[in-house]
Amino acid sequence: MKKNVWISYDLGIRGDYSGLYQWLANHDAIECGNGIAVFKVNINENEDLIEKLKSEIIENVEIRNGERLYVIYKKNDGKIAGKFLFGNRKGNPWEEYKQTPVQEDVE
């Protein structure tokens, strides 16, 4: 079966973009903005999508500490899921813009 997968990548300034781009090209990926692509993955029912992607990327891309790749996909139950293949979540850069309600004086 084929599954649509969106991948967000942040390899920094020294990342192996040529390896990643070659891998994306081999999957006929389509660019969706800075650091985002979508492509289809052929996967058997008994295969784990996340493990398959991680394995393929490890074989084709040199991943260094601090680099991040995040995938978004539809699970077999139809729910949308996201997971870091490499790296992890950072603090939100927009946190300082969050509006906090003004509290009324309490007597």
Which pLDDT value is given to residue 79? 94
For the cut 70, the answer to whether the pLDDT of residue 10 exceeds it is yes
Q: How confident is the model at residue 12 (pLDDT cuts 50, 70, 90)?
A: very high
What torsion do the CA atoms of 75, 81, 85, 86 make, to the nearest 10 degrees? -170
Task: Give me the percent of the chain exceeding a pLDDT of 70.
Answer: 93
Residue 57 located in a structural domain: yes
Residue 20 located in a structural domain: yes
What CA–CA distance (Å, rounded) separates 102 from 62?
Answer: 49
Residue 105 located in a structural domain: no
Range of the domain at 18: 2-90
Which pLDDT value is given to residue 45? 83
Specify the CATH number for the domain of residue 74: 3.30.70.240
Q: Which range has the worst mean pLDDT, 11-25, 54-68, 86-100?
A: 86-100
Q: How confident is the model at residue 49 (pLDDT cuts 50, 70, 90)?
A: very high
Residue 11 located in a structural domain: yes
Domains identified in the chain, total number: 1
